[in-house]
Structure 1
Amino acid sequence: MAYYRRVGDVPPKRHTAHRDGEGRLYREELMGEEGFSSASSLLYHRGVPSALVDSTIWEIPDVATTPNHPLRHRHLRLHELFPKDTWASTDVVTGRRLILGNADVRLSYAVCTADSPLYRNATGDEIVYIESGEATVETIFGALHARQGDYVILPTSTTHRWLPKGEGPLRAYIIEATGHIAPPKRYLSRYGQFLEHAPYCERDLHGPTDVLQATGTDVEVLVKHRTSRGLAGTRMVYAEHPFDVVGWDGCLYPFTFNVHDFEPITGRVHQPPPVHQVFEGNNFVVCNFVPRKVDYHPQSIPVPYYHSNVDSDEIMFYCGGNYEARRGSGIGQGSVSVHPGGYAHGPQPLAYERSIGVEFFDELAVMVDTFRPLELGEGGQACEDPAYAWTWAGRHA
């Protein structure tokens, strides 16, 4: 983030004494990326933000992975992972199940109605896409309202918790980076402002508007972090509540962006996936395919041409409408297709010609392309459709 925001009570000059009405000094905390050379914010606490009283092991959800070998296209049916009788005992943090992962990014899924514990991911930024339902996301910066179609962007080490709301369950597709996530550089000026050709802008990003000023003692926070042997978890207990912040300002904070605020870029003939890009991280990109008018040339073929992504794996999460290119393959709401680098994929044979003359696609999908191979997590292995790889040939294994 490069967009300044100020919330709550902050002093006129940074790194100067800031006191409450009774003269008590607030504690200033700098939260910043890349040492002191990138985006940061200054938060003002009533208590001491580093005051720990306990630290014990937290067993994080299973992050073991299995190679995609033998190499094949795969179809994962995420809606099979969480039967209705598990929703009340599942939360977005401890109940998420790993679908796919590598050293750069992990993709997980959760369906839940339970509140999460306080949580901090110290390994990288998180994007949580809300497939359905709604929630309040309480953070050290204040609260966010998350609704269907929202991306919730949580910077590294943002202490937060998820509180689902409403009648239905919260369905959350979680993208965890090992590093930071940002808008594509080609959308931004050299000073960080969205340019006129960008498909979204600052007005579409919604950050906290007020601080929480919570109180409490001996408050537990679950922390995911790195060790020399990989990912691990620690259960930290703080002397005072981390949400005791009275104000903050800066350019680093959580925010939401709704997929329906993305303005699609179209052309006379089929446009390649980079026009759908919404975010980028280290060795991966995030794209969204939204309802849109398609190609204008009278002989255009609106569905994608067959293509071999020789340098990347393509992961598509289908979350609305009817994805024209894969109609007839078994893909539906809640599906994830895994098209690995190394050989071709594309539309169903009948979809290729059927799309000629079509003027509008009513589809919604979130795509993650990675530049290192992805492996299958336990959740991905548990919900695979074994017949998918052979659907282009009209055969079954």
Structure 2
Amino acid sequence: MVFYRQLGVVPKTRHTLFRADSGAIYYEELMGEEGFSSDSSLLYHRNIPSALVGARIWDLNDQSLTPNLPLLPRHLRLHSLFDVGDATNVDAVTGRRLVLGNGDVRISYAWVGKTSPLYRNSTGDECVYVEDGTAVVETVFGSLSVAKGDYIVIPRATTHRWVMPAGDAAKLYFIEANSHIGPPKQYLSKHGQLLEHAPYCERDLRGPNEPLLTEGQDVEVYIKHRGNGPSGLAGSIHVLPYHPFDVVGWDGCLYPYVFNINSFMPITGKVHQPPPVHQVFEGNNFVVCNFVPRKVDYHPDSVPVPYYHSNVDSDEIMFYVDGDYEARKGSGINKGSISIHPGGHAHGPQPGAVEASLGMEYFDELAVMVDTFRPLELGEAAMKSDDGRYASSWTGGRWNNV
């Protein structure tokens, strides 16, 4: 993250001998991005963090991808992927189902009610949006509580697990990068501070409050990592002699944090504002945007819904979370839907949406958008949740196969 924090006990001088009151040595670990040339934190462990006593293969869920051929806009109904009773047997690590993916980012979804195993994603950062429910995310840096509307950004290789309250369930939308995820560069000073024109600031972010110390022996950690198979991914399970949550203190600028979508301050204007004003995070070759309840354009002849547009360099993925998305009325899209608007196809409001929006002053809508700069392919969850009709929604259902 962009600013320094310190939790627990750390030595006065880094890279020096640090002992407990008992005389035992604490073991220093540098967790850093881009080798030794970007953000990092120093963690002080009771035990040697490299120690292993066993390992085996973890067979990942179906990671296969199918090209979007013929090129089509699509409507996916994510809520159809899970039944109400499924959540009790689904966790946030082994239960997520792949919706879309390319070489830069993967989007998955799960409805979870079971505490996950310990997990480490070594392929990139994860940004998880909590569509509904609550959970506690325990990490090597400490714990973070999350609830409806929260994003949690988890740096690459952070050991963590999702702890579910008894009898509760959460709907989780996973954005897994093959890079790092952070605030948009246009909102940052040259030293990394969020600027005055940014739609959120550091005081809106929540990090861990205290170290998390847990005892245990022969503890399993599930690791997603790079591989040579078709998906480029592989899984392993490491068995550690001691519990990895043994950090007595840490300091630095790299750690997991939470941001709630309701803290986002929308940027509005006299005429319709383009999607970049809604941006909240970015990774390599993709961006994440929020569309939140807001006042809309105030020019006397303004058209509040988006103009038709063809993002020639992007695929646009919109996840409809809450409210009533004006531009998509009449298309069948509802809460829990995803629309796929691929590069090469001009898209925009459904028939009648322009006329219906005239004179409106406020949109009550909540959506999370991911725009990618390489084409996305369809995961097994997309294939099973596609309504098969969305492409004809601009022509009243008319469809001619050729």
State if a TM-score over 0.5 links the two structures. Answer: yes
Alpha-carbon distance between aligned partners in 2 of 1:224 and 1:200, rounded to the nearest angstrom: 31
Alpha-carbon distance between aligned partners in 2 of 1:327 and 1:211, rounded to the nearest angstrom: 47
Alpha-carbon distance between aligned partners in 2 of 1:370 and 1:199, rounded to the nearest angstrom: 21
Q: How does 1:1-397 map to 2 (within 5 A)?
A: 1-165=1-165, 168-229=168-229, 230-397=232-399
Offset of 1:395 from its aligned partner?
1.3
Q: Is the 8 A contact 1:134 1:166 kept in 2?
A: no
Q: Is the 8 A contact 1:97 1:109 kept in 2?
A: yes
Alpha-carbon distance between aligned partners in 2 of 1:299 and 1:61, rounded to the nearest angstrom: 51
Over residues 4-36 of structure 1, what are the superposed CA-to-partner deviations in whole Å (9 max), with x where a residue is unaligned?
Answer: 010111111111111111111100000000000
Offset of 1:85 from its aligned partner?
2.2
Alpha-carbon distance between aligned partners in 2 of 1:343 and 1:225, rounded to the nearest angstrom: 34
Give the residue type in structure 2 aligned to 1:336: I
Q: Is the 8 A contact 2:155 2:254 kept in 1?
A: yes
Q: Is the 8 A contact 2:350 2:394 kept in 1?
A: yes
Alpha-carbon distance between aligned partners in 2 of 1:128 and 1:77, rounded to the nearest angstrom: 18
Q: Is the 8 A contact 2:113 2:167 kept in 1?
A: no
> SS of 1:144's equivalent?
strand
Q: Is the 8 A contact 1:139 1:161 kept in 2?
A: yes
Over residues 301-332 of structure 1, what are the superposed CA-to-partner deviations in whole Å (9 max), with x where a residue is unaligned?
Answer: 00000000111100000001000000110000
Over residues 147-189 of structure 1, what are the superposed CA-to-partner deviations in whole Å (9 max), with x where a residue is unaligned?
Answer: 1000010000000000123754200000000011111111010
Offset of 1:237 from its aligned partner?
0.4
Runs of 4+ in 1 over 6 A off after TM superposition: none
Offset of 1:112 from its aligned partner?
1.2
Offset of 1:228 from its aligned partner?
3.0
Alpha-carbon distance between aligned partners in 1 of 2:132 and 2:2, rounded to the nearest angstrom: 29
Worse overlay, 82-91 or 375-384: 82-91
Offset of 1:298 from its aligned partner?
1.1
Over residues 128-156 of structure 1, what are the superposed CA-to-partner deviations in whole Å (9 max), with x where a residue is unaligned?
Answer: 00000010000000000001000010000
> SS of 1:269's equivalent?
coil
Alpha-carbon distance between aligned partners in 2 of 1:90 and 1:240, rounded to the nearest angstrom: 26
Identity among equivalent positions (%) equals 65
Alpha-carbon distance between aligned partners in 1 of 2:62 and 2:319, rounded to the nearest angstrom: 21
Alpha-carbon distance between aligned partners in 2 of 1:111 and 1:396, rounded to the nearest angstrom: 35
Q: Is the 8 A contact 1:133 1:165 kept in 2?
A: no
Over residues 329-385 of structure 1, what are the superposed CA-to-partner deviations in whole Å (9 max), with x where a residue is unaligned?
Answer: 000000000000002100012111111110000000000000000000000111111
Alpha-carbon distance between aligned partners in 2 of 1:165 and 1:331, rounded to the nearest angstrom: 31
Worse overlay, 155-164 or 222-231: 222-231
Alpha-carbon distance between aligned partners in 2 of 1:61 and 1:125, rounded to the nearest angstrom: 19
Alpha-carbon distance between aligned partners in 2 of 1:359 and 1:166, rounded to the nearest angstrom: 42
Q: Is the 8 A contact 2:31 2:41 kept in 1?
A: yes
Q: Is the 8 A contact 1:387 1:396 kept in 2?
A: no
Give the residue type in structure 2 aligned to 1:382: K
Alpha-carbon distance between aligned partners in 2 of 1:122 and 1:20, rounded to the nearest angstrom: 30
Q: CA RMSD in A?
A: 0.8
Alpha-carbon distance between aligned partners in 2 of 1:130 and 1:15, rounded to the nearest angstrom: 38
Over residues 67-95 of structure 1, what are the superposed CA-to-partner deviations in whole Å (9 max), with x where a residue is unaligned?
Answer: 00001000000000011121111011100
> SS of 1:52's equivalent?
coil
Alpha-carbon distance between aligned partners in 2 of 1:283 and 1:159, rounded to the nearest angstrom: 25
Alpha-carbon distance between aligned partners in 2 of 1:317 and 1:114, rounded to the nearest angstrom: 24
Give the residue type in structure 2 aligned to 1:390: S
List runs of 5+ in structure 1 lacking aligned partners.
none
Alpha-carbon distance between aligned partners in 2 of 1:214 and 1:328, rounded to the nearest angstrom: 52
> SS of 1:260's equivalent?
helix
Give the residue type in structure 1 aligned to 2:44: Y
